[in-house]
Amino acid sequence: MSLECENLEISVNGTATGFLGSANPSTSQPRWYFTCKEIEENTPSRRDGVNLTTETKIRKCYCKLLQDLGKHLHLPQETITTAIIFCQRFFLYQSLVKNDFKAIAIACLLLATKTTGPPRSLEEITNFSFVMIHKKDPVAALRIKQKEVLEQEEELIRRAELLVLDTLNCDFNVALPYPTLVSALKKFDDDASWLAPTAWSLLRHWLQTSLYTQFEPHCLAVAALHFSSVILKNWDISDMDIGWIEEFNVTYLQFTEIWHQVEEMRDLSNIVV
């Protein structure tokens, strides 16, 4: 993690706060999609004094932590994406002020390996994550081998996992954008196959934003394919009537809202394939 991430420390208490004054999700059906305005103005963290800039930075930090940790554990992107979505959903209902975002992120990855696979042990995840988070400590790899340290870190992750389970109401149903992307690519046959790497990179890049808590994954997949054609100047797709998006149950309103938010990010040209 970057120095900027290492300096973002939030205390941990682990008490539910609820989103937008709603009931605790453990006693009602959770809602997983909110408007951009709701997310920017009225999250539990915002009500606890965390501004939008800080919350955005922390989201990027735990997304990077999960991407890096998943890579070191040789996990597929589907599992990493599931873990990130678990984490984002958690913080729709819980405050960053009351929860250690690093412990929560690691717990979400452990949970994702259980629900999506391939499985990884608590000890393995604890070892890798401890060394990664304390990478500036030259003896971190030795410290985590000490029984007392390992047990303490494992207990922290266990408690975080229980809080995640309670907050998500054991709802592990996470749809991913990748099947829709594959279907959309097939629609254009060979004309769009070369857009796949850029579309895939966009979907991974957008995990650091709040788009996955605003739009269902099929909407993001279709948008990623269209934006890839713009980035790579494939005018056969980007200039055509976008009526084709309706074949994938994406409305023009949804598409334009994603477009406007991505334009505001001003980083389409910086996507690395």
Residues 148-157 have pLDDT tens digits of: 999 999 999 9
Max alpha carbon distance in the chain (Å)? 62
Cα 224 versus chain centre, distance = 16
Per residue in 173-197, pLDDT (tens digit) is 999 999 999 999 888 766 678 889 9
The pLDDT of residue 23 is 41
Closest CA to 93 of 169, 195, 25: 25
Structure tokens at 246: 């309706």
3-state SS string for the chain: CCHHHHCCCCCCCCCCCCCCCCCCHHHCCCCCCCCHHHHHHCCHHHHCCCCHHHHHHHHHHHHHHHHHHHHHCCCCHHHHHHHHHHHHHHHHHCCHHHCCHHHHHHHHHHHHHHHCCCCCCHHHHHHHHHHHHCCCCCCHHHHCCCHHHHHHHHHHHHHHHHHHHHHCCCCCCCCCCHHHHHHHHHHCHHHCHHHHHHHHHHHHHHHHCCHHHCCCHHHHHHHHHHHHHHHCCCHHHHCCCHHHHHHHCCCHHHHHHHHHHHHHHCCHHHCCC
Kindly report, residue by residue over 159-172, the tens digit of the pLDDT: 999 999 999 999 99
Given a contact cutoff of 8 angstroms between Cβ atoms, the answer to whether 17 and 47 are in contact is yes
Look up the pTM and report it. 0.88
Question: Is the pLDDT score of 17 beyond 70?
Answer: no
* Percent of the chain whose predicted confidence (pLDDT) is above 90: 72
Residues 244-272 pLDDT 10s: 889 999 999 999 999 999 988 865 445 44
Q: Which domains does the chain have, with CATH numbers?
A: 33-167 (1.10.472.10), 178-270 (1.10.472)
Pair of tokens at residue 257:
């809202």
Asked if 107 contacts 157 with a C-beta cutoff of 8 angstroms, the reply is: yes
Tokens of 50: 């965390």
At 245, list the tokens: 């998006």
Mean pLDDT of the chain: 87
Average pLDDT over residues 220-225: 95
Distance CA 9, CA 97 (A): 9
